[in-house]
Structures are given as C-alpha cells and as structure tokens.
Amino acid sequence: MTKKFLPTLLLTIGTVVFLTACSSSLKPLAADYIKAEPQPLELIGGKVPVTINATFPAEWFVKNATLTVTPVLRYEGGEAEGTAYVFQGEKVSGNGQVIPQKTGANVVMKSSFNYVPAMQNSQLYLTFSAKVGSKSIPLPDIIIGEGVLATAALLDASTETPAIAPDKFQRIIKDAQEANILFLIQQAELRSSELSKTDISEWKSKVEKASKAPNQKVDVEISAYASPDGGFELNEKLAGKREANTKSYLSKELKSTPINANYTAQDWDGFKELVERSKIQDKDLILRVLSMYKDSEEREREIKNLSSVFKVLADEILPQLRRSRLTANIEIIGKSDSEISTLATSDPKSLTVEELLYAATLATTWDQKATIYQNVIKLFPNDPRGYNNIGVIEYVKGNIENAETNFKKANQLAGNLPEANFNMGFVDLTKGNISKAEEDFGKAAGLSQVNSASGLLAVLNGNYSQAAQAFGNTASNNAALAQILAKDYNKAQSTLNAIATPDATTDYLKAIIGARTNNLDAVTSNLKKAIAADPSFATKALKDVEFAKFISNSKFLEVIVK
C-alpha cells in the first residue's frame, strides 16, 4: 500500500533526440541538463508555479530544427498544460528563441497551473514537438518533478467567525437633566419669578418621578457661580451664598433626594463658552484676551477696557453666569438577563430592539439565536441587524445562498453596514472570488475581525509573511497555517497550542510542523490524534508531500495504514 516518492530533482532520465544537420543522427539530452524549481512544486495563491532551467549543450541544436517544449502536469483524472516555448535553429525563420548550434544556450521556461486537489499526486512532464526541416521527429516525454505541496489548501474561511451586528443595550442608562436658577447682580436671594419658571417646575417633576420609580436612581448636584466681573473676594462670598440658599430650598422641595453642592467664585469657563456661542462682533478679540491673561483680575480689567463690547457682555453674557446650575443625575436600571431571556421567548413584543438583540447573545444554541433574530426581523423590519445576524447563522450552518440573501438585505436597509460587507467577503471567498472579497472586506474598515480577513486574503494571494503579520496573535488554525507557510514554526506551534477548541486540523498542522522540523515523534503522535478525530486524514497524509520522507518509515505507516 506504500507509494514511491521520486527524488526531488530529476526523477527519471528521458531521451530527447535531435536530428543533426549533416548526419541525421539522434543525440539524447541528459536529465542533468534540466532542472525544475521548486521541488516539489507548491500551491501558491491558487496556482502551481514552476521555473524550468534547461541547457542545450554545444553542437546539440540542428540549424534547421524547430522544437516546441511544453510542461504538462498530469494527475489522476486529468492534466494541465503550461506555457509552450518554441526554440529554433539558426537557419529557421520564425519567432522562436534561436539556439546557436556551436555554443548551445541556457533557457528559462516559466509556467503556472490552476490548482485542483488531485494535483497533490501528480507528475510534471516536459513534452516535445520537434521538426527538422519538414520532417516531424517523435521525442519521448520526460518526467522532471513529482507531487505538489498543497499545504496552503488547508486554509478554511468557513472556520472564521462572521461579524454579528452588535446591540446597543445598556442595563443602566444615565440621563442628566439640567435647569438654571438665575440671580440679580451681586445678590444671592432666590426670586419667586425664577422658582416658578416652567423649566424649574419640569425639572423638579422629573426628579420626583425618578425618586419614586422602582427602576430608577437619582441624585442632585448644585453648582453655584458668580459672574467674573467683580473682585474675587466678593464673588467667592456671593457664589457661596447662592449655593447655600439653593441647597436649602431644594432640600425642602426634594426631601428624599441626595443633594451635593459646590460653588465657583468666577465662572471664566462659562464665560468663554457663552462668548464662543454668541454672535458678538468682536468675540475673537475677547477670546484672545482670555487666552493672554491667566490672572482673573487682569482678565477682568482688560475686558472692561474693551468699551466697545463690554456693554454687550454686560447685557447678554454676564447675566447668564449669575446662577445656580441644577443637575439631576438619573440612572434608569434595565431588565435583568433572566428577565430579558424569558421575555424574548414568551413575549418578544415587550422588548425593545436593543433588548432583543442582547437576548440573542444570552442564547446558548444557534437555533435559539435564530428564533430571536427572526423576531427582530418581524417586529423591527427596518433594522438591518436582524437580517445580518440571521445571515451569520445561515453561513455557520453552511447555507451560503440564504446567508448571502440576508447580508444583501441588511446592506439594502443600512446603505452600508460594515458587518454585512465583511460577511459578504466570506461569501465571495466560498465562490472563489478573491478580488470581490477584497472589495467587500475593504468596506468593513474598523471592525476588529478585519485583521483575520486580511490574513486570509494574504494567504490566498501567496503573501505568507504578510498573512502571518495580519493574523497577529489570533489563536486559530488559519493563523497557524499562515505562520507555517511563512516558515515561523515556533510561532505556529505556540498558536496551535493556544487554540481553545482544537480539532483534527489543529493536530494535522502540528504534524506538518513535526515533518518540517524533522521530528518523527511529533509527526506520528499528532497524526494519530488527527486521524482519531477525523479518519479521512489518514488518506490525506498518505498523499501529502509534506510527509514524503517518512513514507517508508514503519512508525509512520503504523499510524497511517490500518
């Protein structure tokens, strides 16, 4: 049941014969004159490239001969032709590369084959079509390589996690309600006209309702100020009195509500904010004065010197700074996880869209999540997240067409939903459309998963070092594969060891690391685990060029052959 792997350089000696110009004799081309690289061939970016270096020795090429050389990769069930190269003698009129008879020549032939899995067990041939004059000369094919190293084909986009469009659920919603009690210049008494204002009445009503609501908490903060047009000592006393009077009043009005109070003697920050928002003609000049002088008394003096604008400041800005700012800090406490999970099943209509989407994160099975997302779509049909998230579940289950339909619907509703674009990139990869995947992943900038997507694309494009860098510290089979392909075996081993839920592919990749580092024990022990989890890996390993040098080893065969 064992298979022979041919040597990595020239695996057989073929006979290429040339008809000489004067004697019509045939001369063989020794295999030593042909070299194919790499050996074995390797899958890179969906292609199997090869570079063939050949030498035509002196006195070989007949002056009136034409030779067409074509590399052909043959495998069970088919073959693939590479690029044909035409060479000609010095007396031939044509477009082929001329080979001088006297000196001969070195030639380079490059080809690339579209990969199919059967190419793992294949032979690379050179085929020949020769003429001397008008006479065709039959020349035998030559085997110049065997097998394709297809480790990159272990990349599996379906194991990557598509992007769930997140909920915005907040268990505690903070709401700050503000109102202002204004004072007359250099006074701290509360005026009835201020206390009876509509905004003060509404503010107090909100505080009272919040304090009585079972799912709300509230506290009040008083910030009292004096305008910065008086001396600091005067303003400090004035602001302190305003704070005390306001706190005394609210303590009586809001008996069960905690109240914190403080004051600021000169409200320069408030002054700057109001000036910036105003339509005062010379406000830029005022703001420059504020920035130039750090001492409050100097600021005040210089601003008063601006006689052209001080009256406007006195009439429009300063009165708004003689105040006590009332802030009600209200916390609305949402439903518990248990309540949300129960209602998501029994009464989804009673939940907001954010609560429903959050409920899906609490569900433990894909089917439970799917039911919740279906209710999101039913109850909130204009929210794109329901469609995107049900599409994720369809993708995970392998229903790619259904997933694509939902991702497209999400994008239709949102215009451009990053998660839906990201997920469409995975759909593109399942269809082999790498360029479209790059486009869709590019529309998902900002998502945390984009790095892994970049890693996938880099592997598919044969940029292995870039792929390893893109995956970063991600612990996944795909990340480890990129590191193996980039020949960073220590990093790959660490990545595989860090995978939370290893599978058969995880162990198979560890076996490949063992093969590449010539560690037979690592090869056999990890292959044994991989095959135990998935018996198909026995056949795979037997055909895999990664393990070619172990094919005749009894320990290796004990694991593979049952």
- CATH of residue 97's domain is 2.60.40.10
Residue 462 lies in a domain: no
Which phi and psi (to 5°) does residue 235 adopt?
A: -65, -35
Q: How confident is the model at residue 157, as a pLDDT?
A: 86
* Per-residue pLDDT, 6: 36
Which tokens is 524 given? 């056999």
User: Is the backbone peptide bond immediately before 214 cis, with ω within 30 degrees of 0?
Assistant: no
Q: By C-alpha distance, which of 551, 500, 493, 484 is closest to 522?
A: 493
Nearest-angstrom CA–CA distance, 69 and 18: 13
- For 503, list phi and psi in degrees, rounded to 5: -130, -170
Measured CA to CA, the distance from residue 159 to residue 443 in angstroms comes to 21
The number of domains in the chain is: 3
pLDDT by residue for the chain (562 residues), tens only, comes to 334 433 333 333 333 333 333 334 336 677 788 999 999 999 998 899 999 999 998 988 999 999 999 999 999 999 999 999 999 999 999 899 999 999 999 999 999 999 999 999 999 999 999 888 888 888 889 999 999 999 999 999 888 889 999 999 998 888 899 999 999 999 999 999 999 999 999 999 999 999 998 889 999 999 999 988 777 888 899 999 999 999 999 999 998 899 999 999 888 888 888 988 888 888 888 888 878 877 777 877 777 776 567 788 888 888 999 999 999 999 988 899 999 999 999 999 999 999 999 999 999 999 999 999 999 999 999 999 999 999 999 999 989 999 999 999 999 999 889 999 999 999 999 888 889 999 999 999 888 888 889 999 999 999 999 999 999 999 999 999 999 999 999 999 999 999 999 999 999 999 999 999 999 999 999 999 999 999 999 999 999 999 999 999 999 999 988 6
Answer yes or no: is 552 within a domain: no
Examine the domain organization and report whether 87 and 195 are in the same domain. Answer: no
- Together in a domain, 194 and 226: yes
Specify the pairing of strand 135-137 against strand 122-132: antiparallel
Burial category of 290 from C-beta neighbours within 10 Å (exposed 0-12, middle 13-18, buried 19 and up): middle
CATH number for position 285 = 3.30.1330.60
What is d(CA 405, CA 424) in angstroms, rounded to the nearest whole number? 10
Task: Provide the mean pLDDT of the chain.
Answer: 89
Q: Are 56 and 32 in contact (CB under 8 A)?
A: no
Residues 406 and 266 in one domain: no
Total residues found in the chain within this entry:
562
Report the candidate in 193, 164, 197 with the shortest Cα–Cα distance to residue 179: 197
With vertex at residue 326, the alpha carbon angle to CA 322 and CA 327, rounded to the nearest 5 degrees, is 140
Same domain, 119 and 178: no
- Co-location of 319 and 358 in the same domain: no
| 368 exposure class (CB count in 10 Å sphere: 0-12, 13-18, 19+) | middle
In a domain, 480, yes or no: no
At residue 42, the pLDDT reads 96
Helix and strand element counts for the chain (H, E)? 23, 16
pLDDT by residue (tens digit) across 41-52? 999 988 999 999
Domain presence at residue 506: no
- Counting beta carbons within 10 angstroms of the beta carbon of residue 455, is it exposed (0 to 12), middle (13 to 18) or buried (19 or more)? buried
Q: For residue 484, which amino acid is it?
A: I
Q: Are residues 166 and 181 in the same domain?
A: no
Query: What's the CATH code of the domain at 358?
Result: 1.25.40.10
Same domain, 362 and 403: yes
Q: Are 206 and 323 in a shared domain? A: yes
Domain boundary among 97, 116, 149: 149
436, amino acid identity: K
Nearest to 126 by CA among 18, 48, 10, 40: 10
pTM, full prediction? 0.70
* pLDDT tens-digit map of 93-116: 989 999 999 999 999 999 999 999
Computed over its alpha carbons, how large is the radius of gyration of the chain?
A: 40
Measured CA angle at 213 (ends 211, 217), to 5 deg: 50
Is position 287 within any domain? yes
Please answer whether residues 274 and 287 qualify as being in contact, where contact means their C-beta atoms are separated by less than 8 angstroms: no
Which two three-digit tokens encode residue 519? 């560690």
Shared-domain flag, residues 42 and 126 = yes
Q: Give the pLDDT of residue 232.
A: 84
Pair 310, 363 in one domain: no
Same domain, 104 and 248: no
Distance, CA of 50 to CA of 71 (rounded, Å): 9
In a domain, 53, yes or no: yes
Residues 160-213 have pLDDT tens digits of 889 999 999 998 888 899 999 999 999 999 999 999 999 999 999 999 999 998
**Domain of 304?**
172-333
365 and 307 within one domain: no
Last residue of a domain, one of 397, 427, 446: 446
pLDDT in tens, 217-233: 999 999 999 988 777 88
DSSP track, 97-132: EE--TTT-EEEEEEEEEE--GGGGSEEEEEEEEEEE
**At 74, is the secondary structure helix, strand, or coil?**
strand
Judge whether 461 lies within some domain: no
Residue 413 lies in a domain: yes
User: Which of 405, 427, 446 marks a domain boundary?
Assistant: 446
